[in-house]
């Protein structure tokens, strides 16, 4: 197992953060997201120590899209990390949590005028410019509000990380950023440097997600340093900051090859120093934006088994009380997961089963073909490494309420997101008055 705080107690129950998972399911209900605070903090410190030991000015910026709540903002702040937000909603969450605005990095390829005004008025630390229209709009708004925001220009270095095609973001054909190879990135930097309302601070790139080894990052470093040198030699301006984005992966199943984060970061920073020496440019401040690598293996999801369906010679389905409404990654990306039966982790003969959800979709499957002890109605299944993108991408599809999220540490469990009720699901519904009228014997005519 890769989940680094898994333990099993004398009852044969899964233990996370010092808490019996079966007792958590009974106390808080299922489905249930469970976050181990100690693992979360330990992961944060791995990145923080690696970057800061290389250069105290370097920054680790947590990618909020992986999992963000007001409580999460507090933890990230306490660990000394910055925060990457990609929408007005994420920015609002950070502001409500009292997160230091100067450590907020605002991303997004289609920020609205309202979102940019919120960013300007709150004083976020960096706004990452993604396209020409945004550059022009931000300049107009900054001048109108008498602000001078610090900006990065996001560029696409043309690297295709070996991940699912929907989560590649660094190649040339991407909705994100200015392309280097056609000269657009250089032109954007030149344009930003002429602005009287914007303060150009650096470059940003992001080459993909769920990257498990350092090679793509080292290639990105080489390409980005070459662009940095071109800017210096042609425009006479050094680039102070270089944001290499996120994408650091975690192993989900046994056959996921994985290079430890500490080793990856060491090799990336060594490549940076080598390129700085080769190209004779000033060493920039480095920023990385891990999300999944900080929260992913800190979380599990607990489900209760409602029934089992066996199709002889074909497949055995195990039905749980959640599904793609609380974890859409399998249906969306073909993601794979490990799991255990939380109420008897090592008990029983293994059999191949498919863990399926309760939603009205044939593709509503959480895990295809996993070996588990014989599963019975009432068992609690713990799906591992679900801290990233489970809650963040959850929906009310089929009008299912979203699960609660709890934080566990040293045997204590606390709610950080309440479970939704049916009343929560319909709270924004509105019925026009005319639909309340009774038809007093009249039949509705076909329209």
Predicted local confidence at residue 1, as pLDDT: 36
Q: pLDDT of 6-24, one tens digit each?
A: 799 999 999 999 999 999 9
pLDDT at 166: 52
Cα distance between residue 200 and residue 412, in whole Å: 46
Instruction: Tell me the two tokens of residue 313.
Output: 């010679």
- Structure tokens of 155? 């560029």
**What ranges in 79-128 are assigned the alpha helix state H?**
88-96, 113-122
* 214-243 average pLDDT score: 95
Residues of the chain with CATH 2.40.37.10: 6-35+297-426
Short-list 86, 205, 228, 84, CA closest to 156: 205
- Rounded CA-CA distance 10/15 in Å is 10
How far, in Å, CA of 199 to CA of 146, rounded?
Answer: 13
Alpha carbons within 13 A on the beta-carbon side of 343: 17
List the CATH code of the domain at 6-35+297-426. Answer: 2.40.37.10
Q: Would you say 303 is a known binding-site residue?
A: no
How many helices, marked H, and strands, marked E, lie in the chain? 12, 21
Q: Which of 19, 73, 205, 360 is catalytic?
A: 360
Q: Rounded to two decimals, what is the model's pTM?
A: 0.94
pLDDT over threshold 90, residue 234: yes
Q: Are 243 and 201 in contact (CB under 8 A)?
A: no
The residues with which 242 forms a beta bridge, in sequence order, are 203, 286
Length of the chain: 447
Whether 255 shows a pLDDT value over 90: the answer reads no
pLDDT of residue 411: 96
Class in CATH terms, 107-289: alpha beta
pLDDT confidence of residue 444: 54
Distances (CA, A) of 393 to 127, 167, 240, 294, 402: 24, 14, 35, 17, 10
**pLDDT tier for residue 262 given thresholds of 50, 70 and 90:** very high
Give me the pLDDT at residue 284, please: 96
Q: Is 216 annotated as a binding residue?
A: no
- The Cα 359–Cα 446 span in angstroms is 32
Average pLDDT, stretch 77-83? 98
Q: Where does the pLDDT of residue 300 fall: very low under 50, low under 70, confident under 90, or very high at 90 and above?
A: very high
Stretch 250-269: mean pLDDT: 92
Distance CA 23, CA 369 (A): 27
Question: Which of 282, 206, 202, 271 has its CA nearest to residue 244?
Answer: 206
Active-site residue, 360 included: yes
Beta carbons within 8 Å of 9's beta carbon, 6+ residues apart: 15, 20
Strand partners, 209: none
The reply to whether 357 sits in an annotated binding site is: no
The reply, when asked if residue 401 is annotated as ligand binding, is no
Tens-place pLDDT, residues 344-379: 998 778 999 999 999 999 999 999 999 999 999 999
Q: Is 57 annotated as a binding residue?
A: no
Pair of tokens at residue 304: 């209760």
**Block residue for tokens 């920054």:** 59
Ranges assigned E (strand) in 236-288: 241-243, 285-288
Lowest-pLDDT range of 110-114, 207-211, 299-303, 439-443 = 439-443
Confidence tier at 2 by pLDDT (50, 70, 90): very low
pLDDT in tens, 38-67: 999 999 999 999 999 999 999 999 999 999
In the chain, CATH 3.20.20.10 sits at 107-289
- Angle made by CA atoms 270, 274, 275, in degrees to the nearest 5: 120
Q: What is the pLDDT of residues 185-200, one digit of tens each?
A: 999 999 999 999 999 9
Residues 6+ apart with CB under 8 A from 428: none
User: What does the pLDDT read at residue 347?
Assistant: 77
User: Would you say 361 is a known binding-site residue?
Assistant: yes
- Report the chain's C-alpha Rg in angstroms: 24
**What does the mean pLDDT of the chain come to?**
93
- What pLDDT does 446 receive? 54
């Amino acid at each position: 197992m890769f989940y680094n705080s898994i333990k099993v107690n004398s009852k044969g129950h899964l233990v996370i953060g010092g808490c019996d998972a079966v007792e958590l399911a009974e106390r808080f209900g299922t489905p249930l997201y469970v976050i181990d605070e100690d693992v979360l903090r330990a992961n944060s410190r791995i990145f923080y120590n690696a970057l800061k030991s290389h250069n105290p000015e370097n920054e680790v910026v947590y990618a909020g899209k992986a999992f963000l709540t007001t409580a999460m903002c507090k933890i990230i702040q306490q660990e000394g990390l910055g925060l990457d937000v990609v929408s007005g909603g994420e920015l609002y969450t950070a502001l409500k949590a009292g997160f230091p605005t100067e450590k907020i990095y605002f991303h997004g390829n289609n920020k609205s005028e309202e979102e940019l005004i919120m960013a300007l008025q709150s004083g976020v630390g960096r706004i990452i410019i993604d396209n020409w229209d945004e550059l022009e709009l931000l300049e107009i708004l900054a001048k109108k509000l008498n602000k001078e925001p610090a900006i990065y220009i996001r560029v696409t270095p043309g690297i295709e990380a070996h991940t699912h095609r929907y989560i590649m973001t660094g190649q040339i054909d991407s909705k994100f950023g200015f392309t280097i190879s056609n000269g657009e990135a250089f032109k954007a930097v030149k344009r930003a440097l002429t602005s009287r309302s914007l303060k150009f601070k650096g470059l940003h790139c992001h080459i993909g997600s769920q990257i498990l080894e350092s090679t793509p990052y080292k290639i990105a470093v080489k390409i980005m340093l070459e662009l940095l040198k071109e800017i210096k030699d042609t425009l006479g301006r050094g680039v102070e900051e270089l944001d290499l984005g996120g994408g650091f992966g975690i192993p989900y199943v046994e056959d996921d090859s994985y290079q430890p984060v500490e080793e990856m970061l060491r090799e990336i920073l060594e490549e940076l120093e080598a390129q700085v020496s080769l190209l004779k440019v000033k060493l920039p401040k480095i920023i990385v934006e891990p999300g999944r690598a900080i929260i992913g293996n800190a979380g599990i999801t607990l489900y209760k088994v409602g029934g089992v369906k066996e199709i002889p010679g074909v497949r055995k389905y195990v039905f749980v009380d959640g599904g793609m409404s609380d974890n859409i990654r399998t249906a969306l990306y073909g993601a794979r997961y490990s799991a255990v039966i939380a109420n008897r982790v090592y008990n029983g003969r293994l059999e191949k089963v498919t863990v399926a959800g309760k939603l009205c979709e044939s593709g509503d499957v959480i895990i295809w073909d996993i070996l588990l002890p014989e599963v019975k109605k009432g068992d609690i299944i713990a799906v591992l490494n679900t801290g990233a993108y489970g809650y963040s991408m959850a929906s009310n599809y089929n009008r299912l309420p979203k699960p609660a999220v709890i934080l566990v540490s040293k045997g204590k469990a606390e709610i950080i997101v309440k479970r939704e009720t049916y009343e929560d699901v319909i709270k924004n519904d509105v019925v026009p008055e005319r639909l309340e009228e009774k038809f007093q014997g009249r039949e509705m005519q076909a329209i």
